[in-house]
Amino acid sequence: MINMKSTILVTGGAGFIGSNLVHYCLEHNDFTLINLDKLTYAGNPESLGSVSNHPRHVFIQGDICDRNLLKKLFQSYQPRAVMHLAAESHVDRSIEGPGEFIQTNIVGTFQLLEAARGYWTALPEERKGSFRFLHISTDEVYGTLGSEGYFTEESRYQPSSPYSASKASSDHLVRAYYHTYGMPTLITNCSNNYGPRQFPEKLIPLMILNALEGRELPVYGDGQNVRDWLYVEDHCRALLKVLAGGVPGETYNIGGNHEKSNLDVVSTLCSLLDEIKPRSGGKPYREQIVFVKDRPGHDFRYAIDASKIQQILDWKPKENFESGLRRTVTWYLDNLDWCAHVQDGSYQRQRLGVIDS
């Protein structure tokens, strides 16, 4: 069991889930957080906002592929755990250019594992046993489901996109470090997150901002692809449960138990915006929906069986999809400055990841 006053090395803590995790931990725990982030297009210091100068938060701009830097961080801060979230995370970008995904998600995870192993091997016995390396991964490693069934921790790996293949590869490496070296690693595979501070290339923030600006709301294919939606704060609580009570070598699936088709998600968002921020002229936002060419290799359905973490670690999501979505829409409406700042000019919400046939 990890001491709740420990120092934790968090990677990717200026990204969507990472920044929510940093805010959540500083508010609800006594951890000191060493936050290592390269600040790619997806990482933004503004997402850390009020906590950037918090006495228990140290931000370091750097790359997980930089082994010397990692070595120094382990030596200087002597973390009790690593929570590894840094990644290239957008499927459409991985179709457009897989190279960065291989570099960060596979090579970067390898470098981090090696630096952690060097540090962990030299720890005194009593600290060795309580060290944890928690790797945050995705349900996309399991491939696609038909209209029935759920992904469990026993499901076969069958990734379809360069993104999910790179995450699958990093999962295998993390698991291998447990089996080969005995390093206490854990893996979580979670479903689609949503909530505050998500870069506006992902479905929910993209649709909110496009709707407000009167732009088209592009739905891939016929909009019937299904995802299981998890509110980001519920995810953060789950990660802390796994860190505190998870068994090394084990995997925990985390899902919101809220399956929705993409068209349902966009329609629900439109109804919420009709209520909270009606269009001038009173026409419904739904009118802005357009159907566009499907994503190549678009998995039909993801759905998580989260019974293991529910039963063993006593976790379940607090938000349902409607309440979480309302909180999310309200956050974006209140933080339009953040949205403007994170879109630095190189990304203007254009479609990525289309292959000419």
295 near ligand NAD, rule: CB under 6 A? no
Query: Considering the complex, what minimum distance in angstroms separates the CB of residue 128 from ligand NAD?
Result: 26
184 near ligand NAD, rule: CB under 6 A? no
Query: Considering the complex, what minimum distance in angstroms separates the CB of residue 19 from ligand NAD?
Result: 7
266 near ligand NAD, rule: CB under 6 A? no
342 near ligand NAD, rule: CB under 6 A? no
Query: Considering the complex, what minimum distance in angstroms separates the CB of residue 276 from ligand NAD?
Result: 23
85 near ligand NAD, rule: CB under 6 A? yes
155 near ligand NAD, rule: CB under 6 A? no
Distance of alpha carbon 11 from alpha carbon 4, whole angstroms? 19
Identify the CA nearest to 171 among candidates 252, 227, 115.
252
Catalytically annotated residues: 139-140, 163
14 near ligand NAD, rule: CB under 6 A? yes
When the beta carbons of 18 and 288 are compared against ligand NAD, the nearer one is 18
Distance of alpha carbon 305 from alpha carbon 253, whole angstroms? 7
Choose one: 13-21, 145-153, 203-211, 259-267; the region binding ligand NAD (CB under 6 A).
Answer: 13-21
Region for 353 from its dihedrals, namely left if φ exceeds 0, alpha if ψ lies in -120 to 50, beta otherwise: left
Distance of alpha carbon 343 from alpha carbon 308, whole angstroms? 38
Q: What share of the chain is helix, strand, coil (3-state, %, to 5)?
A: 45, 15, 40
Distance of alpha carbon 231 from alpha carbon 234, whole angstroms? 5
Residue from the set 9, 10, 16, 241 that interacts with ligand NAD by CB under 6 A: 16
Cross-strand bridge partners of residue 33: 8, 57
When the beta carbons of 19 and 288 are compared against ligand NAD, the nearer one is 19
Q: CA 157, 39, 234, 229 torsion: positive or negative?
A: negative
The pair of three-digit structure tokens given for residue 311, joined into one six-digit string = 């039963």
Choose one: 130-138, 240-248, 265-273, 297-305; the region binding ligand NAD (CB under 6 A).
Answer: 130-138
Choose one: 34-42, 282-290, 293-301, 334-342; the region binding ligand NAD (CB under 6 A).
Answer: 34-42
* Strand ranges across the sheet with 57-61: 57-61, 32-37, 7-11, 81-84, 132-138, 185-190, 251-254
Choose one: 82-90, 126-134, 216-224, 241-249; the region binding ligand NAD (CB under 6 A).
Answer: 82-90
Distance of alpha carbon 328 from alpha carbon 258, whole angstroms? 15
**Which parts of this chain interact with ligand NAD (CB under 6 A)?**
11-12, 14-18, 36-40, 42-43, 63-65, 85-89, 104, 108, 136-138, 167, 190, 192-193, 199
